[in-house]
Amino acid sequence: MRQACGNVKSFKRLITPANKPQGFGFAEFEDPDGALRAMALLNNVELPALEDGCVNKKLLVRLDDSLHRNPYIYHTSDQSGRKDQDVP
């Protein structure tokens, strides 16, 4: 995933009171472009069931509020030093 989407800054998966992992978590990418690529590449990917008798589930990838407001333009510097890159 790191090669396709970029570095993940943090990942948190919630745990139930019975100490079982919830079916969701939160990933924070180092830059907005990684989050946008993750959404494009991973949304609706079918994940295999981890336990017998359970059904496969599709991965749902959402953006946080800061990217959701304007997912096409963000402030960053590429190697040429330009800023305000448009995300295709």
| DSSP H/E element including 41 | helix 32-42
Q: Give mean pLDDT, residues 37-48.
A: 91
pLDDT of residue 72: 55
> Using CA atoms, how far apart are residues 27 and 8, in angstroms rounded to an integer?
7
Is residue 87 situated within a structural domain?
no
Task: Name all contacts of 49-57 with Cβ < 8 Å and 24+ positions apart.
Answer: 57/23
In single-letter form, the type of residue at position 36 comes to L
Question: Is 18 a domain residue?
Answer: yes
* Predicted confidence (pLDDT) at residue 45 exceeds the cutoff of 90: yes
79 pLDDT exceeds 70? no
Read off the DSSP letter of residue 84.
S
Can you give the pTM of this predicted structure?
0.62
CATH number, domain containing residue 58: 3.30.70.330
Domain that holds residue 50: 2-82
How many domains are there within the chain?
Answer: 1
**Given a cut of 70, is residue 41 above it in pLDDT?**
yes
pLDDT score, position 4: 85
Whether 88 is in a domain gets the answer: no
Query: Does 9 map to a domain?
Result: yes
